[in-house]
Amino acid sequence: MRARYCAHELELVDFVVKTYHPSCNAQDERDAIAESIAGNWCLLEVVSCEEGSTLMRALLPSMLTLLKINDATA
């Protein structure tokens, strides 16, 4: 996980793509992965981790803006 986090911070798209599980077909999603890596993340939280699987929650600036808008109208 640490290596992938560092790769995101350094925008090392090829490394991130290569570290996906083969069943994810990450090479086919390379452009979307590159766009995600280039974005600013406000939060990245590990929700759970089991053998062979990690569930993470991310918060992006666009989501934070949406949360603020929803909170203001509630």
Q: What is the pTM of this model?
A: 0.59
Full residue range of the structural domain in which residue 67 is found:
40-74
Q: pLDDT, tens digit, for every residue of 18-37?
A: 999 899 999 999 999 998 88
The ranges of the chain with pLDDT < 70 are: 1, 63-74
Q: Are residues 1 and 34 in the same domain?
A: yes
Q: Are the beta carbons of 17 and 30 closer than 8 angstroms? A: yes
Q: Are residues 52 and 71 in the same domain?
A: yes
Q: Are residues 45 and 66 in the same domain?
A: yes
Cα 37 to Cα 70: distance, rounded to the nearest angstrom: 26
Per DSSP, the residues of the chain read -HHHHHHHHTT-HHHHHHTS-GGG-GGGGHHHHHHHHHSPPSEEEEEEEETTEEEEEEE-HHHHHHHHHHHHH-
Q: Are residues 71 and 49 in the same domain?
A: yes
- Confidence (pLDDT) at 16: 93
- Confidence (pLDDT) at 71: 62
Q: Are residues 32 and 6 in the same domain?
A: yes
